[in-house]
Amino acid sequence: MIVEAAQLLLRVRRENDALLRTGGDEFTLIMLGTGAAEAERMNRRIREAVSSYNAGIADPARELGLSVGLSTRAAGMRFADALCAAQENMHCRKLLSSRSPRNSILSSVMATMLARSRETEAHGERLVSLSRRLGDALGLGQKAMDELELYAMLHDIGKVGVDDRILDKAGPLTAEEWALMKRHSEIGCRIAASAQELAHVAEYILSHHEHWDGGGYPRGLAGDRIPLLSRILAIVDAYDAMTEDRVYRRAMSGRDAILEIERGAGTQFDPALARLFVALLKE
């Protein structure tokens, strides 16, 4: 399989690109004088080449699986740092690939979260789908899209540290219970930061309940100080939560949920992202 992968990469690379084998099953493609857009185009070419190769393979066990990590070297950036960033991005892609042994790490974390947080697997899948639609509309690159997918799946991991009686309570939370519930974003951040494979989404998890006007928690961040991926998921998660039955209320219609998103634009939600999300839902 190593030989097939090398031959495929040699076919798709440009004439002046340097292909190096830098690990047991890892290759590095050095593309001189290339910006992020061209690197992203190469990423798509590699994925398309892999799909084409696998289409001609009768035995699924012989199909080729490649996880690609991208990084561009900015002025003043050391080559080693750019290479390290690309490797981190590749490891994120491996986490999301069902073919990769690293996926077992994510599966284990997800199983624990679903058992304790009361969120359903279907909820997580809808968040991934809606987040990717919004990310695509924003023109996010592969690195950001992979991080968005991973983050959407794990944003509520901190609820494993919240008492079951609070998670299962049908009525309103007391002030003390609400204070304990709000700790889940910080707990989730610490859980993600403790695992090398998840550390790059820890900051997003910490910030997923921040509000555009600064009225959220835990740090009271406002506007562009809130990470973009956190602003994306805040909208998507609110919409999906409103349109799903919860222990404390019945689901509202998609139309009513859209009205709530529009009302929250500029206060709870990034107004530009809220408008774009609503437009996507109305297509």
CATH number at residue 88: 3.30.70.270
Higher pLDDT, 267 or 71: 267
Yes or no: say if 63 and 57 are a contact pair by the CB < 8 Å rule: yes
CA atoms within 13 A on the CB side of 215: 7
Q: What is the pLDDT of residue 101?
A: 44
Same domain, 230 and 154: yes
Same domain, 119 and 87: no
Same domain, 37 and 144: no
How much is the average pLDDT of 151-176?
87
- Tell how far CA 153 is from the center of its chain: 7
pLDDT band at residue 99 under the 50/70/90 scheme: very low
Q: What is the pLDDT of residue 119?
A: 61
Q: What is the pLDDT of residue 165?
A: 87
Same domain, 151 and 86: no
How many independent structural domains does the chain possess? 2
Beta carbons within 8 Å of 102's beta carbon, 6+ residues apart = 91, 94, 95, 197
Looking at the predicted structure, is the pLDDT value of residue 51 above 70? Answer: yes
Where in the sequence is the domain holding 34, given as residue range(s)? 2-96
Yes or no: say if 274 and 258 are a contact pair by the CB < 8 Å rule: no
Task: Dump pLDDT digits (tens) for 5-22.
Answer: 888 888 888 888 877 777
Looking at the predicted structure, is the pLDDT value of residue 179 above 90? Answer: yes
Same domain, 138 and 258: yes
Q: What is the pLDDT of residue 268?
A: 97
Q: What is the 3-state secondary structure (H, E, C) of 168-225?
A: CCCCCCCHHHHHHHCCHHHHHHHHHHCCCCCHHHHHHHHCCCCCCCCCCCCCCCCHHH
Looking at the predicted structure, is the pLDDT value of residue 275 above 50? Answer: yes
Q: What is the pLDDT of residue 106?
A: 62
CATH number of the domain bearing residue 126: 1.10.3210.10
The number of helices, as runs of H, and strands, as runs of E, in the chain is: 13, 2
Q: What is the pLDDT of residue 233?
A: 97
Same domain, 67 and 111: no
Cα–Cα–Cα angle for 107, 110, 116, rounded to 5 degrees: 145
pLDDT band at residue 49 under the 50/70/90 scheme: confident
Tokens of 120: 């359903």
How much is the average pLDDT of 54-63?
81
End position of a domain, from candidates 71, 96, 121:
96
Higher pLDDT, 101 or 92: 92
How much is the average pLDDT of 26-37?
76
End position of a domain, from candidates 96, 126, 151:
96
Same domain, 189 and 126: yes
Write down the pTM of the prediction.
0.69
Same domain, 72 and 189: no
How much is the average pLDDT of 109-130?
74
Looking at the predicted structure, is the pLDDT value of residue 32 above 80? Answer: no
Same domain, 108 and 89: no
Residue 249 has φ and ψ, to the nearest 5°, of -170, 160
Looking at the predicted structure, is the pLDDT value of residue 92 above 60? Answer: yes
Same domain, 126 and 226: yes
End position of a domain, from candidates 66, 96, 126:
96
Same domain, 38 and 136: no
CA–CA dist 210, 129 (Å, integer): 22
The percentage of the chain sitting over the pLDDT mark of 90, rounded to a whole number, equals 36
Looking at the predicted structure, is the pLDDT value of residue 138 above 80? Answer: yes
Same domain, 136 and 265: yes
